[in-house]
Structure 1
Amino acid sequence: MIEIVSDPGAGQVVEIQGEGESGVRGPLPVLPLRDVVPVPDTMLPLAVGQERSVRLVDDVLAGDRRLVLVTSRDAAVEAPGPEGIHEVGVVGHIVRMLKVPDGTLRLLVQGTQRVRLTRFTKTEPYLVAEIEELPDQLGPEGEDGSSPELVALHRSVQETFSKIVEAVPYLPEELQIAVANIDDPVALSQLITGSLRIGTDDKQELLEQVDVQARLRRLMAILARELEVISIGSEIQSQVQSELDKGQREYVLRQQLKAIREELGEEDPLEAELAELREQLDALDLPEVVATQADRELHRLESIPQASAEHGVVRTYLEWIVSLPWNDRTRDDLDLHRAREILDADHHGLEDIKDRILEFLAVRQLKPDARGSILCLVGPPGVGKTSLGKSIARAMGRNFERISAGGVRDEAEIRGHRRTYIGAMPGTIIRAMRDSGSSNPLLMIDEIDKMGSVGSGGGPESAMLEVLDPEQNDTFRDHYLDVPFDLSRVMFVTTANTLDTIPGPLRDRMEIIRLAGYTAQEKLEIAKRYLVPRQLERHGLRRSWVGFGDPALRTLIEDYTRESGVRNLEREIGRVVRKIAREIVEQEQDDDAPPAKPKRLTVSQARVEELLGRGTWAGADEALRRRTRRAGVATGLAWTPVGGDVLVVEAAAMPKSGSQPTLTTTGQLGDVMQESVRAALTWVRGNLAGVAPEVAQDWFSQHDLHVHVPAGATPKDGPSADITIATAIVSLLTGREVAQHVAMTGEITLTGEVLPIGGLKEKALAAQRNGVRCVIAPRENERDQEDIPEPLRSRIDFVWVDRVEQVLEAALGGLPVGPRG
C-alpha cells in the first residue's frame, strides 16, 4: 500500500512506504526520457514537466508505483510516439516525489529489471505497453561468473575505471573503492554505466546487451576511449600551463632586471626602446601569424648591435607592425535616412549611385559580416567621382583615404619592396591603411584606368587583382610586411574615365557604375547649390554681398564652357568672383571713409560678358549650322573619354586625276573609322539607283572621292559614324543638304542594316550642348533612352531606324526638323 507521510502540497515531499511488488507484469505505463538512459538496480532522479507525463505519474502513484523508463530516439521530440522510443528499457519504482511551485515534479526512481516493450496497448493520454523481462546471460561456463575471459574482463574494467576516477574530478574517490569491491560482473557494469558521462547511444547499447561478457567487452572499449581522451586533454592542459608559467617567469625576471637597473641608475636607451616596442606589441590583438613574426623580429632586434644597419631595418619593420590598424574599426552608420540626406546635400542627381550606397547599408544592417563592396565609377572628368567617394565615406561613418593610381607603372608600388632592398617600405595599400587608422575604411583608388605596366607581366594591374578580389584580399600579403593583412572589411571605390584601358580580369572584379555627365539644367542647379557658395567662401565674399542670376549662370554654361562635368564651370565662376573681389577692395581703398558693408551685387548676363569678354563657345551653334548648310556635310555624334561630342563629316568629289578613281580620308582617322568610310561607300555604290536615281551609274568610276573629318589634330576612331559618312556621301551625290539641327549615330552593314552603338546618353548630352534638336539612332538603342533625363528627352526628338534608307529619309527627306520656339 502507499502511505502519504506529509501533505502533498506545492513544495511538499511525498514519501512512498511499503514493499513494492516484485516480478514483471504488464501492461505498464511508459515514461519516455530525453538524453537519459536508465540502468537496472540504480537510483535515477528525474524532472517531469509535460502534462501527459505529470498525469502518468499521478496514475502510477495511485496504483502499484511501477512504470517503464525508456529513452527517446530523438531528444528534440517532446512527445514521442511508439516509433520514437527505444524498445528496451527498465522497470522503475517511484521512491520519492516532490511537487515544485511551477507545477513540475521531481522524482526519485529505483530501477529494477531490464525489459523489452512487446506491444503498445494505449497511446493516449500516455503510452502503455506490455513487456517481457530480459535477464542477464553469463554464458555457458559457470553461472557464478568463473569464466577466465569474464574474470579478465572484470579486472580490466575495474583497473581502467580506477584510472579514470583518478583523472576526472567529477567522480568521487568513494566510487573507486566501491568498484574495486564488486565481485559481480553484472553489478559492476551497471554501476559504471550509471556513473560515467558517456553518450546516450553508448549507454543504450550497453543496456540492450544482455550477454554480460559482450557488455563488459563493449564497456572496456568505451572506457579505453575515454581514458585516451582524458590523457590527451591532460597533455594539452599541461602544455598550456607550461607556456603560461614560462611567460610569467620571463615577465617576473624582466621586471626584476628593470628594477635593478633603475636602482643602479643604468637605464639603457636601447632597452627603453625595446621595452616600449614590446609594450605596444602586447597591447595589440595581433593575429597569431603576425604575433609570431613580430616576436621573432623583436628577439632579433635584442641581439643586433645598435650600430648595425640591420638594427634600423628591423626596428622600422616593427614600427610598421605597431602602426597598422589590425583590429581597430569604425562602426558603420546604418541610418538610411541620414545617409540619404548627406548624399543629397553633397551631390545633385546621381540617383543610381545613391541607391547603390543605400542598398549596401541595408545589406550591412541585415548581415553585419558581409564582405566589402568594390565599386568603379566611370565617367568624364569633372562629374564628381572623387568627391562622391568622400560623401559615401561620410554617409557611412567611415574613414576616407585616397590613392592615386595614375602613372603607377610598377607592381612594387602596390605591394611594396622586400626588406632586402635599401630604403624598402610597404606599398600604397598598406600605407593608406595606416593613414586611415581603421581596418574598415573607404579606400578610393583614383584614375585606375591610367595605370601602366613596364614590360610584360608583373605590372600594377596584376597586384590589383588580389587587392580587389573579395575571395583573396582577406590574406593580402605586402612584400615588405610578408604577413597576411585582412582587406575584406575595406570598401573600395575606384574611378576611371574609360574602361578600355582596364584589363578584363581587373574590370570583372568591380561593379561598374557609369556617370554620363550633366544636362544644362542640372549644371544650373549644381552651380546655384554648390559651386557659387564654394567660390564665394574661398574668395572671402559673403553670399549676402554677391549673387548670380540664372541668365548669368546659363551664359557661363553655354558660352564659356562646353564639357560633361562642371570643373571648367567652377573655374569660370571663380574668375568672375575674383574680379568682383578686386573691385570691392579697390573701392574700399579709394574711399576715405571707413570700410562699410558692400551693397548687394547680382551678377547678370551682361556683367559676365563685361568681366570675362566674349565666350569661347559663343556662336558655336550657329557656326555648326553654317558649316552643315551645304551638300556633302553631315553631323554625327561621338563618344570620348571626356564625354560626348559632335562630329562633322565632309565629303567632296572631283574628276579623277589618274587612270583609276581614288578614295582619300583625312582628319587623323583610326583603322576602324577608315573601314567605316569604305563600308559606307560600298553600300552607297551598291544602292546608287535607289538612293540617287538621277546620278549616272558610272559616276564613281569617273570621280575621286575625299572624306574629311575636321579637327585634324584630334585622333578619331570607332564605327558609330557609319551612317553619318553614308549620309554625307549621298548628300554630295544628290545635292540635297542635310536637315538643320539633325545629328546621327550608328554602325551599318553592307546590307544596309543599322547596328546599335554605345554611349547614347553621353551623345544626347553633346547634342543638347550643340543645339541639336533631332537625333537619328539605331532602333535597338531605343531602350537606352530610359537612362537619359526626362527634361533632355522632352527637348530632343529621337528617330529610331533599322536601315540606312530610313536614315536618308529622315536626314534628306525634307522632314520639318528645326529649332523650336
Structure 2
Amino acid sequence: MSKDTLDTKQKNDFPEWLRILPLADCVVFPGAVIPLLIDDPVQVRVLDEALNGDCYVGVVTQRDPDELQPQAKDLVKNGCLVRIKQMVTVQEKLLRIRVEGIARFTVERYKTEEIQESFMLRAKVVYHEDKYEPAGINKTDYQVLTERLTQQFDVYAGRSVTLPEDLKLVVKNTNDPARLTNLVAFALPIPVKEKLKLLAECDVQKRFKHLFTLLNQEIKSAQLADQILKDTNTSLSRMQREGYLREQLKAIHKELGDDGGVELLHLRGLIKKSRLSEDAMRVARHEIDRLAAIPFSSPEYAGTRNYLDWILNLPWRKEDQNPRTLVEAKRILNRNHYGLEALKDRLLEYMAVMKVSDSSSAPILCLVGPPGVGKTSLGQSIAEALGRKFCRIALGGAHDVSEIRGHRRTYVSAQPGKIIQNLRRLGTRNPVILLDEIDKIGNSQMGAETASALLELLDPNQNSTFTDNFLGMPFDLSHVLFIATANWLEPLHPALRDRMEILELPGYTFDEKCHIAIQHIIPDLLKKCLLPANSIHFEPDAL
C-alpha cells in the first residue's frame, strides 16, 4: 500500500491559488460527488471562470451559515479541492452543478479580487496527503478496519430512509481505506462541526476510530427511535391520532425509566410535602390526574399547570410566629406616631384582647380621618407591633367584583383576586391587610357587588370559608387582620359600617405638627438630600 493517496505528480497539477466557493452548511470530502444549487451572482461568475479554465474550485465552509456575503474571516481554515463535473443553467442567475472532491487543503492566506462590482476570494493553499500511521499497521490491518466500517455502515444504512441508494452502493463497493472514511463521513447526518474535524484529520487510522464512535451513536439513536415508534404504533388507532405526540412522550419516559413523567412526579412530591387543606388536597390530586391525560401542546395543559401552581404556593396553614409584648408594641407606636394618645391606647387594648383571647374573630378596625393624618402608616405600625407581614390594597374607584373574588377559570388569563394574590406573595395566612380608601368604592351596580364581596370578607362568621372564583374552593381568611381606612363615613355602605369598629383620627394640633416636622419630616428630607443630620437648624418661628 502506498503511504500517500496523492502522488507528487498529482499534487503538482493542482493550482497553488484557488478560487474559493463558500458553502453555508455543507462540508465536501475527497471522493464524494455532490450536487449544488448556486444563485449568488458572484459565485456564478466564479464558476464560469473555473469552467473556462482548469475546472478547479476550493470549497470552504462558513463559520456562520447565515452570513450572506462571507469574507475571509468568516471561513474555516480547512477546505476541499473540487472539480466541476457538470454545470447546468436552470434559469437566469441560478446554476445546478455537480462537483467531485479531490484533495484536502489548508488555507495559508486570502486575497480579494474585484468582480462585477463585488469581490471574489482567492486563497493560497497547502494540500494534504492521507497518512497511514503508525508504521506498524500493515495492509491487512487496514483491510480489517475497512471491512468492519463497511459492515457497520450497512447496519446504519439499513435503518436510514433518507440515505440515497447510489451512495449506499458506492460505499459498499469501496475498498480503499482513505476513500471509505471520506465517503462515510460525507454520508453520515452528523453536525457540521464533526464533519470539519474529520476533514481536518489526515491520519486515516484516527478517522476510522472517530467514525466507529459516530456510527455507534447513530445506530443506537436509530434503534431507540424504532423502539419508540413501535411502542406508539401498538396503541395507535384512528380515534387516538390526536394523542400521537403524547404517546411518543410516554414511550420516551418509559425508555428513561420514568413512566409517569418527571413533571408529574415532581408535582405529586410537592403535594405530599405541602400542608394543604383537605379540599385543596383533593382538588390538587384530581387536577394532576387530569394533567396526565392532557397533551402537553394543548392550551388546557398550561391552564391546569398554572392552577396547580397557585394551589401549591398558597399558605393554607403557614403562619408567622413572631409575637411581641405590649411594651414593645407601645414603643413601636410611640416611635412612629406622635400624639394620638387616645387612639394608641385603644389600639393597645385591641392588641391585648387579641393576645389574651387568641381569637381570630376580633372586630375589623376602620381608621377614619382626612388625607395626610397617617392612616396608612398607622396600619403599618400595627403590623410591626404584632410581628406580622403587611400589605396594602387600594380600593379607590374599585368597581369590579373580580378584584376581590378573582376571575373564573373559563376566562383567558384568569387569575385570583387581590386578596389571594397578596397572600401568595406574603407567604403567610395571618398578615395585616390594609383595605385603603374603602369609602371610594364606585357607586355603580358593579360597585355595589364589590361592597357585597367586602361584606363577606370582613364578616368573621363568613370569611373562614371565603371562596375565590379562580380557586373554586374555600380559603380560610379568619386569621387575616383586616384594617380599613376611609376619609369620610357618609359614603360607606351601612352594612359595611356595621361590620367595623370606627376609630377617628383627628387633625393634628399646631404643636403636634411642629414636633412631627422636627422629629420625622426634616430628618427624612436631610437623608434624601444626603446632608448630615442636624446640619440645618430651623427656628420655631420658621416652622
**SS state of the match for residue 386, structure 1?**
helix
User: Partner residue of 2:462?
Assistant: 472
CA distance in 1, matches of 2:447, 2:542: 53
Q: Is the 8 A contact 1:372 1:490 kept in 2?
A: no
Moved over 4 A (4+): 260-264
Q: Which amino acid aligns with 2:337?
A: H
Deviation at 1:367? Answer: 1.8
**SS state of the match for residue 542, structure 2?**
helix
CA distance in 2, matches of 1:432, 1:456: 23
Residues 415-457 of structure 1 show CA distances to partners (whole Å, capped at 9, x for unaligned) of 0011011111000111111122111100001111111153368
1:240-255 pair list within 5 angstroms = none
Q: Is the 8 A contact 2:399 2:447 kept in 1?
A: no
Deviation at 1:539? Answer: 1.5
User: Partner residue of 2:278?
Assistant: 288
CA distance in 2, matches of 1:497, 1:529: 26
Classify 1:349/1:434 alpha carbon distance in 2 versus 1 (closer, same or farther; 3 Å). same
Residues 737-793 of structure 1 show CA distances to partners (whole Å, capped at 9, x for unaligned) of xxxxxxxxxxxxxxxxxxxxxxxxxxxxxxxxxxxxxxxxxxxxxxxxxxxxxxxxx
**SS state of the match for residue 331, structure 1?**
coil
CA distance in 2, matches of 1:283, 1:351: 47
Q: Find out whether 1:546 has 2:497 as its counterpart.
A: no
1:658-669 pair list within 5 angstroms = none
Deviation at 1:542? Answer: 1.3
CA distance in 2, matches of 1:500, 1:507: 10
Give the one of 358, 372, 376 matched to 1:368: 358
CA distance in 1, matches of 2:511, 2:391: 32
Q: Which amino acid aligns with 2:456?
A: E
User: Partner residue of 1:380?
Assistant: 370
Q: Which amino acid aligns with 1:331?
A: Q
Q: Which amino acid aligns with 1:358?
A: L
Q: Find out whether 1:437 has 2:431 as its counterpart.
A: no
1:124-273 pair list within 5 angstroms = 264-265=255-256, 271-273=261-263
Classify 1:359/1:526 alpha carbon distance in 2 versus 1 (closer, same or farther; 3 Å). same
Deviation at 1:266? Answer: 6.1
Give the one of 428, 450, 454 matched to 2:418: 428
Q: Which amino acid aligns with 2:449?
A: G
TM-score of the aligned structures, taking structure 2 as reference length: 0.52
User: Partner residue of 2:319?
Assistant: 329
User: Partner residue of 1:390?
Assistant: 380
User: Partner residue of 2:495?
Assistant: 505
Residues 644-666 of structure 1 show CA distances to partners (whole Å, capped at 9, x for unaligned) of xxxxxxxxxxxxxxxxxxxxxxx
Q: Which amino acid aligns with 1:312?
A: A
CA distance in 1, matches of 2:419, 2:429: 12
Q: Is the 8 A contact 1:473 1:486 kept in 2?
A: yes
Q: Find out whether 1:275 has 2:270 as its counterpart.
A: no
CA distance in 1, matches of 2:401, 2:360: 29
Q: Is the 8 A contact 1:410 1:453 kept in 2?
A: no
CA distance in 2, matches of 1:383, 1:363: 26
Classify 1:283/1:456 alpha carbon distance in 2 versus 1 (closer, same or farther; 3 Å). closer
Q: Which amino acid aligns with 2:370?
A: P
CA distance in 2, matches of 1:297, 1:533: 55
Q: Which amino acid aligns with 1:514?
A: E
Classify 1:461/1:438 alpha carbon distance in 2 versus 1 (closer, same or farther; 3 Å). same
Q: Is the 8 A contact 2:363 2:499 kept in 1?
A: no
Classify 1:457/1:552 alpha carbon distance in 2 versus 1 (closer, same or farther; 3 Å). closer
Q: Find out whether 1:489 has 2:489 as its counterpart.
A: no
**SS state of the match for residue 365, structure 2?**
strand
CA distance in 2, matches of 1:487, 1:428: 13
CA distance in 1, matches of 2:398, 2:486: 14
Q: Which has the larger radius of gyration?
A: 1
Deviation at 1:365? Answer: 2.5
Deviation at 1:468? Answer: 0.6
Q: Is the 8 A contact 1:446 1:495 kept in 2?
A: yes
Q: Which amino acid aligns with 1:529?
A: Q
Q: Is the 8 A contact 1:448 1:502 kept in 2?
A: yes
Query: Any unmatched runs of 5+ in structure 1?
Result: 1-259, 554-821
Deviation at 1:458? Answer: 5.5
Deviation at 1:280? Answer: 1.7
**SS state of the match for residue 496, structure 2?**
helix
**SS state of the match for residue 492, structure 1?**
strand
User: Partner residue of 1:461?
Assistant: 451
1:543-622 pair list within 5 angstroms = 543-553=533-543
Q: Is the 8 A contact 1:334 1:365 kept in 2?
A: no
1:4-19 pair list within 5 angstroms = none
Q: Which amino acid aligns with 1:283?
A: K
Which piece of structure 1 moves more, 297-306 or 370-379? Answer: 370-379
Deviation at 1:278? Answer: 1.7
Q: Find out whether 1:341 has 2:331 as its counterpart.
A: yes
CA distance in 1, matches of 2:530, 2:291: 55
CA distance in 2, matches of 1:333, 1:282: 29
Give the one of 312, 329, 349 matched to 2:302: 312
1:397-796 pair list within 5 angstroms = 397-455=387-445, 459-553=449-543
CA distance in 2, matches of 1:342, 1:369: 23
Q: Is the 8 A contact 1:411 1:460 kept in 2?
A: yes
Classify 1:515/1:496 alpha carbon distance in 2 versus 1 (closer, same or farther; 3 Å). same
Q: Which amino acid aligns with 1:368?
A: D
Residues 449-495 of structure 1 show CA distances to partners (whole Å, capped at 9, x for unaligned) of 11115336852111101001011000000000011011111111111
Deviation at 1:361? Answer: 2.4
TM-score of the aligned structures, taking structure 1 as reference length: 0.35
Deviation at 1:368? Answer: 1.9
Q: Which has the higher contact order (CA 8 A, sep 6+)?
A: 2
CA distance in 2, matches of 1:274, 1:262: 12
User: Partner residue of 1:761?
Assistant: none
CA distance in 2, matches of 1:418, 1:362: 40
**SS state of the match for residue 396, structure 2?**
coil
CA distance in 2, matches of 1:413, 1:364: 29
Q: Find out whether 1:300 has 2:290 as its counterpart.
A: yes
Q: Is the 8 A contact 1:374 1:511 kept in 2?
A: yes
**SS state of the match for residue 389, structure 1?**
helix
Q: Which amino acid aligns with 2:537?
A: G
Deviation at 1:549? Answer: 2.2
**SS state of the match for residue 443, structure 1?**
strand
Deviation at 1:264? Answer: 4.5
CA distance in 1, matches of 2:311, 2:489: 36
**SS state of the match for residue 546, structure 1?**
coil
Deviation at 1:369? Answer: 3.6
Deviation at 1:262? Answer: 8.2
Classify 1:551/1:483 alpha carbon distance in 2 versus 1 (closer, same or farther; 3 Å). same
Residues 180-232 of structure 1 show CA distances to partners (whole Å, capped at 9, x for unaligned) of xxxxxxxxxxxxxxxxxxxxxxxxxxxxxxxxxxxxxxxxxxxxxxxxxxxxx
CA distance in 2, matches of 1:352, 1:302: 60
**SS state of the match for residue 328, structure 1?**
coil
Q: Which amino acid aligns with 2:264?
A: L
CA distance in 1, matches of 2:268, 2:331: 46
Classify 1:283/1:396 alpha carbon distance in 2 versus 1 (closer, same or farther; 3 Å). same
Q: Which amino acid aligns with 1:319?
A: D
CA distance in 2, matches of 1:408, 1:306: 38
Residues 327-386 of structure 1 show CA distances to partners (whole Å, capped at 9, x for unaligned) of 110125240111000000000012233223212222233222442441100000000000
How many residue pairs get aligned? The number is 294
CA distance in 2, matches of 1:284, 1:345: 39
CA distance in 2, matches of 1:526, 1:378: 20
Q: Is the 8 A contact 2:407 2:470 kept in 1?
A: yes
CA distance in 1, matches of 2:270, 2:539: 59
Q: Is the 8 A contact 2:406 2:417 kept in 1?
A: yes
